[in-house]
Chains A and B, each alone.
Chain A
Amino acid sequence: MAQSEPAKSAQPKRRRPLEGVRVIDLTKIVAGPNATRMLATMGAEVIRVEWHDQRALDLLRGVQPKAPGGEADSFNRSGLFNNINPGKFGITLNMSLPQGRDLFKRLIAKASVLCENYSPGQMDRWELGYDTLRKINPGLIYLQISGMGKSGTYKDYLSVGPTAQALSGLTHMSGLPEPMPPAGWGYSYLNHSTGYYGAMHVMMALLNRRKTGRGCYIDLSQTEVGVMTSGTATLEAQMTGKPTERHGNRMPVADWAPHGAYPCRGNDEWITIAVQTDGQWQALVAEIGSSDWARDARFETAAERKANEDDLDRLIAEFTKNEDRYDLMHRLQKRDIPAGVVQKADDRLTRDPQLKERGAFVPLPHSEIGTWPVEDFPAKFQNMSVEVGGRPGRAAPCMGEDNDAVYRDVLGLTLEEIAQLKEDWII
């Protein structure tokens, strides 16, 4: 799906929401880079700081899927990395050397924001904790993302997205009722949402700094993001004293039925239907047509449909199983019944006219792999310039791609000095 279209043209810099904000990005994998992705999209100058030995490398640079062709061991071909890191500048810096850490401090002196998600204690071991860095730059906003947070009983516990999802309660809440096990989330949802909260907190801190003149330290916990998004479960359990249960795709808090995913014609093709009112039910009965069961008294009212939901779901599935999923969705929608196809990635990319018309996938150039679609920010703006290609107007940076430009323009180094730093394995 490589494309040849150029990136969107750059808007006047005045329209960028975060014009004048420089972010030093020491993040890895998805949660941290997703936070800085948002900041780059909003116009911040995000400088991604990396190093290429095995211990320091962002593992995401090596994961599948990779753009076809090229050298197998290239750090620049991961499609997931490209989708998570567009709009950023990329430099290399060997933080394990004192000279590298000195350069890092010089970058911090010129920055507004630092984002990092190293393992517990790493920045302190380098003597680069917030208390040190704030002396260099009192206005610095320091976002530190970790699985459990940097304080509390679990501050030294290790976590990745699925760990945080399990502990927060999100895994338990997703799936069919017991005796089935939890289905959980089929990906690291909390890597995405922790990034959202990271960006949100940084931008709040920028507003706060305008008012107070002060920077701040933000110790963001991925697990707590999961707790925050656990809906009404904690409240209900406190009221009832009963543990939270799973409900599959059913609606546990209202008499909405049918409410689920139903099989359609083909292999693993599904449609979701969510009937919220008696009117929608009557419309569904009309669409089903001549089947007597649909007019059964057991399904006449919302309360009765809810009480007989097992039978109802079985009969709806009998109706849907020979239907084409998109055709059925459009027929149901014509009758104002909420219904949506369970779209897979190929459906979203090739069969979804809405995402296409709204430009949800932006072709962005990459210096090694060419132009590929990148997911855009999911909103349109009338006034501001918000572009997923960010200030460089491109997809993710290659490793160290912007060394010369950044060290020259931000730190004022000469090309000779930069060459020497490369020679000394510092950048």
Chain B
Amino acid sequence: MNTEAALSAALGGTVVIESGDERGEFAGVLLASFGAEVIRLEGRQGSNSRRLGPFASSQSDAEQSLCFWRYNLGKKSVSLEVDHPGARDVLKRLGQRADVIIDSGEAADVGRRLGLYREMQVSNPGLIVCTITPFGLDGPYRDLKMTDLTQLAMGGVMASCGYDPQPDGLYDTPPIAPGMWQAYHITCEHAVIAITAALNFRERTSEGDCIDVSIHEAVSTCTEVALPSYIYNERVVRRQTGRHAGLAKTPPWLRRTKDGRYVKAFLFWGGRDVRVITEMLNEAGIEHNLDSDAYRELSERSPSEAHKNFSGLIDTLVASMTAEEVFHRAQAKGLLWASVRFPEENIDDPHYQARGTFKTIHRPGLDHDLAYPVSVATDGKQRVTTFQFGAPHLGEHTQEVLGQVGYNEAEINALTAEGAI
């Protein structure tokens, strides 16, 4: 499957200007996947993400960052020092052409540019401005210095992720920040929801908006039962290895397989699960006593002991197969189990190939093409979002984009000479 459905053009004709740092880049990627023309404004040295690895070559080259490639897929690049006095007129002209401006970074930096964006809205009242900052544009923590790690900590995700405590209840391992850039993913997804709502609003009213997205608040809304547990019962969940944080210790989910991998094999202890697992034990030729009177008696006398026994049999069952065998055999019997895959193992999986989840994108100069995740949905036949091209070279579209807003070659050269582009 190599084609795309209509939603990949839902934002056709929509122009998004994206400024700022790595915190907002995923928002631009998502908007580009729906067909928006996303113009990434980069300083002369390029975006921060160009200096983050991993790199496609042994050199830490700004044109070789896989981080930049991933988070700037389908965008155009304009070299522009947005805080340079000479950039002001360029920004104003771009603002005339734009439907959406995204700016991300420290609140003080973004806030400084907000006045200019508001000026743009006077002449372009349909303009939607979305700022993405660590804590929003106001409040006592507004100017705290943050990274993805510290945001996942403050927002509460880390408190639920990690390993079991020791038998005495004390933890000897730290809370874990799931990798990578998840604070920024969560935030950018909310930013795109807000922007898309604003685009719908504009269709009806012709009015734009200013949207102030807080990374801290976005992360804090993404911890499932942790907050309600405290709100309603004043109890705090505790982290556990490979399974949900809980108020009390729960049975293990992660089990090791014959090929040294892991599966998530839940134990719901329902009658159907017991019957199905008994079948699987029989098929694998593993001796058990699950259908014996002795086991039934144990289940009545000591459910926890029976549970432990049953869990041990599942360990034995899982250890007799590879992770993929466990996954497919369990699913064939209606169990919700899965292999713990490396993310790249999905690229060649026929399921994802059939659904067009990945798309191979050519990058000139690279000796082999790379498959990127481009879609999370189909229309029943084909994927609904995609990217037409890969991440841009630094300043690749400067001439083109500035030309579109009325700059001639001499003016562009003058802007270059004064250090604005």
Contact = CB atoms under 8 A, between A and B. Distances in A.
B227 A187 contact: no
A268 B347 contact: no
Interface string A321-347: 000000000000100111111111111
A294 interface: no
B379 A218 contact: yes
Q: Which of B140, B176, B192, B228 has the most CB of A within 10 A?
A: B228
Contacts of B234: 1, 346
A319 B378 CA distance: 52
Nearest to A38: B193
Interface in B225-279: 225-245, 247, 253-254, 256, 262-264, 266
A183 B174 CA distance: 11
A33 interface: no
B193 A196 contact: yes
A19 B207 CA distance: 14
Contacts of A248: 174, 176
**For the complex, would chain B's binding face be called helix, strand, loop or mixed by DSSP majority?**
mixed
A244 B255 CA distance: 19
Interface string A218-231: 11110011011111
Given A358-B214, A376-B217, A201 B7 contact: yes
B116 to A, nearest CB: 16
B342 A244 contact: yes
Tell which of B11, B150, B384 has the most Cβ of chain A within 10 Å: B150
B228 A174 contact: no
Nearest to A274: B147
Interface stretch (A45-53, A208-216, A415-423): A208-216
Interface in B1-34: 5-7, 9-12, 30, 34
Contacts of A268: 165, 170-171, 238
B38 interface: no
Contacts of B247: 64
B221 interface: yes
Contacts of A201: 7, 377, 384
B159 A160 contact: no
Contacts of B214: 358, 378-380
Interface stretch (A97-105, A234-242, A397-405): A234-242
B15 to A, nearest CB: 15
A224 B357 contact: yes
B175 A270 contact: yes
Interface stretch (A87-95, A164-172, A406-414): A164-172
Interface in B344-397: 344-347, 349-352, 354-355, 357-358, 368, 370-373, 375-381, 384
A382 B128 CA distance: 11
Interface residues of B, number: 157
Given A65-B235, A148-B351, A249-B174, A207 B253 contact: no
B188 to A, nearest CB: 10
Nearest to A239: B56
B37 to A, nearest CB: 15
B66 interface: yes
Contact of B135 (A66, A220, A246, A354): A354
Contacts of A184: 161, 178, 242-243, 254, 264, 340
A409 B336 CA distance: 41
Contacts of B95: none
A67 to B, nearest CB: 6
B131 to A, nearest CB: 9
B145 A333 contact: yes
Nearest to B260: A178
A282 interface: no
